[in-house]
Amino acid sequence: MATVEITADNFRDHVSDKGIVLLDFWAAWCGPCQRFGPIFEKASEKHPDITFGKIDTDAQQELAAGFGITSIPTLYAFRDGVIVYSEPGAINGKQLDSLIEQIEALDMEKIHADIAEQQANAAS
């Protein structure tokens, strides 16, 4: 699967679904972003079951600001609508593959239970 362009208009449609979504916050003028782009694209071809989204921080300033993006590239990972990873900086292909394996191995039932408990504690 090729990467998809993520905008403020289609953001929720992509990240609220079941499954894994990786988001690359980038800009055309950013050298590290240009080096990471092909790595991200190659991973998208190896993992057709994962949504790989690219967010142009110049075109989507409000979305980037909402995530507090101050350094690019920044990679975010969602699984079943939950942010499970966020880190600025380019990574290599092996690191990205390892990250994907770790995200796939997460116990999402436990994570959702932990979130529900935290919300219940905050409400009381």
Among the listed residues 77, 71, 112, the one whose alpha carbon sits nearest the alpha carbon of residue 96 = 77
- Active-site residue (options: 6, 15, 22, 30): 30
Q: What end-to-end distance do the CA atoms of the chain give, in Å?
A: 44
- Active-site residue (options: 20, 21, 22, 33): 33
**Is residue 30 annotated as a catalytic residue, yes or no?**
yes
* DSSP string of 7-33, one letter each residue: -TTTHHHHHTSSSEEEEEEE-TT-HHH
- Is the CB of residue 84 less than 8 Å from the CB of residue 77? yes
Cα separation, 15 vs 25, in Å, equals 14
CA torsion sign, 120 to 110 to 55 to 28? positive
**Is residue 49 annotated as a catalytic residue, yes or no?**
no
Residues acting as catalytic residues: 30, 33
